[in-house]
Structure 1
Amino acid sequence: MTDSAGAPAEPDPPVGHRRIWLRWAALGSSVVVLFAAGTGWWLYRKLDGNITTDTTAVAELKRYERDRPSAVPRGGRNILLIGSDTRAGDGNAAYGQDEGSQRSDTTILLHIGADGRGVTAVSIPRDLMVGVPDCRTAGGKRTKPQFAQFNWAFQIGGTACTIRTVEKLTGIRVDHHMVIDFRGFKDMVNAVGGVRVCLKEPIDDPDAHVKLKAGAQTLNGEQALGYVRARKSLGDGSDTERMNRQQQFLGALVNKMQSNGVLLNPAKLYPVLDAATKSLTTDPGLDSLKDLYGLARALRSVPTEKVQFLTVPRKPYHADPNRDELVQPDATRLFRRLRADAPVIVAPAGQRPSGEPSAAPSARATPGSSGRTTPNPTAAPTFTGTNAAASTCA
């Protein structure tokens, strides 16, 4: 036989040879598939095993189940995020606390609306004066109810005490909780390649171990940790300013993850998950990769502009300006809307969100103001804050 050019054509391989080739090809493909499946299973098991399950807090909360608030209607969820100052592990002791001590400087109540309608992250100031209920200490002793600053709850009775304090303060049931330590935060920022921020002025804070120039720049994990923890060297040195920076940075982090397609790219998502799970302690409802994936999917479905950050309406405590107290009735309005899974409108200070009636007065509370307004009953109240879309550098 010849080909179209007249040259002798290569003879077809014998049928037996073709069968052998097909068998080897099938065997090779099977090996590749099995290897990929095995690798995927190993990675899954590794991430799953990174997570620490907090059964102690769950058992303690069961003792008070009758006193706890009802769940959010229609499928909304509330997750309490606690930034732990345990300083346990390498590198954490440098931040100024004895090894093994326990404190929480950052607490955020994350409300995820039903059907992906929106996400509202509410920061609770560490210096807010609240009623801390009776709690069990790590040594098994019971403390008496007391009026104290909010972050004492974590120091006294850990996660369970903090959750009960939040529920008594807000009337909102905490469905799940996550405790993230310093190293997890730093590693997550590094895993996404750093986060871009815009600084109006340079920062030089020895206590927070951070020195940054003014202007737009991308922070690595170590710089980011110092940036969100810096306090005395910036502005008026208040915890409110620090919480504002934390909210803006978290918004920028959310935006970075979504804009870079991290949540949709396994190669990019794995380092983030590895960093997060290694430093994550959760209740049994979120202690598996499957549970966290479900949470990630819920968050991914929410448009960036509907991921909002704000601080509970607060003002200087009347008996001590170095402490905070709630601004009423604004705080009650906010808590009521979150309990009902109702929309919460958040806008930067001095700006009215689009769609809000011009005649509707804002229920916005700024630091030091009374926050007392007479809202339009037909309009949702507006609170000062920011959102992930507005946290991006120009």
Structure 2
Amino acid sequence: MSAESTPEPAITEPGTKGRRAKGRRRKAPGKRHKALLITAWTAGGVLVLGGTGIGYVYFKLNGNIKSVDINQALGTDRPAKADNGSENILVLGSDTRSGSNKKLGGGTDDGSARSDTAMIVHVYKGHKKAAVVSMPRDTLIDRPECTDTKGATHPAAKGVMFNESYSTGGAACTVKTVETLTGLRMDHYLEVDFAGFQKLIDELGGVPVTTTKNIKDPQSHLDLKAGAHQLTGQQALGLVRTRHGVGDGSDLGRIQLQQAFVKALVDQVKHIGVFTNPKKLLDLADTATKAVTADSDLGSVNSLSDFADGLKGISSSHMHMVTMPVQYDPANPNRVIVQQTKAKQVWTALKNDQPIPASAVKGTATGEAKGVVTSS
């Protein structure tokens, strides 16, 4: 990955129209988290509150949301939209090096950001089940030429890490890279910063998980004994960032922990009855909309509400979570490469709105952390 400064993705800041945020990007150590669609679920659900305060609530939350115009940046040279009732959402984490994120992630307050992991969420027709495919940041790929949201064009690059697309051209180049790799159209884009992620977990009252082994990683400030835990926001952030505390120390092991945590998080949201508790819903929606950057089609409370309404019925038991089929790079064990034949099975299944076959992930590199974390 290049250490050169690269442009910040152009975004619409809260309370502005078309003003672009400024900042730099830099390479940084790979400590990442990711959050799933709790942001959209909680933000969208606020419109069920009703009452005389709904106008204030609407404008308050609407003013929180940042958006990025992916469609304008990428133009028409993209895979066709699916016509089978399914949707694909690219979900990223980001850790802007400013404000409260600086304290959580270290580094300088320079406004730069990075994203080390990503996942494709495929919502099947009927919106009752979903498949989630994690994209390891350490995957070596050929990145396509792409245009960022400021209109700058970045030349193609061969044999670079997957997350180099984000540090090079932000959200638009990441979407372009994913669409080129998969042949799938990304209908939506959601990005969540880790300061907001930590606060969301605390406002939920924590998330219950069970660890089957001790997990200790000074680098992510995590120390969990085997057993049941009600993770605080800080502990949850440590869990989804750790890569040295469990498994083979790779990003693949971290992804397995993240996938287990996401399922526990979805269960917790349903357990505490967020959508039937107006005060809890409003608090979470306020935090969620401040933490999220969405594509312009989702860049308002109304749009998030419509989007979220179709996702509330998906439980963790109806989420099939896998990692993009990869194998360790023979030339560098710290990197992975795509197992093209098996990956094609995944992309073909999702394109046809079919379940991902077990054969697609059998015999692939895993990270050896599966089963270490489960829902309590």
Asked if these proteins are the same fold (TM beyond 0.5), I'd say yes
TM-superposed CA distance for 1:263, in Å, is 2.9
CA distance in 1, matches of 2:213, 2:315: 31
Inter-CA distance 281–168: structure 2 relative to 1 (3 Å threshold):
same
Indicate yes or no: 2:71 matched with 1:58.
yes
How far did residue 236 of structure 1 move? 1.3
Is 1:109 matched up with 2:120? yes
- In structure 1, the partner of 2:157 is 146
Aligned mate of 2:287, from 268, 275, 283: 275
Aligned residues: 322
Q: Structure 2 vs 1, CA of residues 295 and 139 (structure 1 numbering), >3 Å: closer, same or farther?
A: closer
What TM-score do the two structures reach when normalised by structure 1?
0.76
Structure 2 CA distance for aligned equivalents of residues 152 and 144 of structure 1: 12
- How far 1:202 sits from its partner (Å)? 2.6
Measure, in 2, the Cα distance between the counterparts of 1:296 and 1:123: 21
**SS of corresponding position for 2:145:** coil
Q: Tell me the alpha carbon deviations over residues 51-80 of structure 1, each in whole angstroms, 9 at most, x when there is no partner.
A: 11213x432112xx1x21011222211111
Asked whether 1:156 is paired with 2:168, we answer yes
Gaps of 5+ in 2: 1-49
User: What residue is the counterpart of 1:240 in the other structure?
Assistant: 252
TM-score, with normalisation over the residues of structure 2?
0.79
1:128 and 2:139 are equivalent in the alignment: yes
Deviations along 1:122-150, one digit per CA (max 9) or x if unpaired, are: 11000111111123468865332112110
Which deviates more, 111-120 or 136-145?
136-145
CA distance in 1 between counterparts of 2:309 and 2:316 reads 14
| Offset from partner CA, 1:207-254 (integer Å, 9 cap, x none) | 212222321101111111111001123221011110001111011000
The answer to whether residue 39 in structure 2 is matched with residue 39 in structure 1 is: no
Choose from 236, 240, 252 the match for 1:228: 240
1:310 maps to which of 302, 309, 322: 322
User: Alpha carbons of 1:146 and 1:193: their partners in 2 closer, same or farther (altered >3 Å)?
Assistant: same
List aligned pairs for 1:162-177, cutoff 5 A.
162-177=174-189
Q: Which runs of 5+ in 1 are unaligned?
A: 1-35, 347-361, 370-384
How far the C-alpha of 1:45 sits from its partner, in A, is: 1.7
| Shift in alpha-carbon separation, 1:61–1:242, aligned structure 2, 3 A | same
Equivalent of 2:198, from 177, 186, 190? 186
- Residues 349 and 356 of structure 2 are in contact (CA less than 8 Å); yes or no, is this contact kept in structure 1? yes
SS in 2 for 1:114: coil
Q: CA deviation at 1:368?
A: 3.7
User: What percent identity do the matched residue pairs reach?
Assistant: 37
**In structure 2, distance between residues paired with 1:97 and 1:337:** 41
Q: Structure 1 residue 77 and structure 2 residue 91: aligned?
A: no
1:364 aligns with 2:361: yes
SS in 1 for 2:244: coil
Between 1 and 2, higher relative CO (CA 8 Å, sep ≥ 6) is seen in: 2
Q: 2 CA distance for matches of 1:363 and 1:103?
A: 30
Give CA deviations for 1:7-62 in whole Å, capped at 9, x if unaligned. xxxxxxxxxxxxxxxxxxxxxxxxxxxxx73322212221121111213x432112
Contact in 2 for aligned 1:314/1:365 (Cα 8 Å): no
Q: CA shift at 1:305, angstroms?
A: 1.6
The aligned counterpart of 1:263 is: 275
Matched, 1:392 2:375: yes
- Residue aligning to 1:215: 227
Q: Cα offset for 1:273?
A: 1.4
Deviations 1:59-109 (A, max 9, x none): 2112xx1x2101122221111111012232224344244432221022111
Q: Secondary structure at the match of 1:242?
A: helix
AA at the equivalent of 2:156: P
The structure that has the greater radius of gyration is: 1
Paired position in structure 1 for 2:354: 342
Taking a change above 3 Å as real, the CA distance of residues 51 and 137 of structure 1, as seen in their structure-2 partners, is: closer
* 3-state secondary structure, aligned to 1:268: helix
Question: How far is the alpha carbon of 1:151 from its aligned partner?
Answer: 0.4
Runs in 1 of length 4+ with deviation above 6 angstroms? 137-140
- Tell me the C-alpha RMSD between the 2 structures: 2.3
* Cα separation, 1, equivalents of 2:86 and 2:101: 37
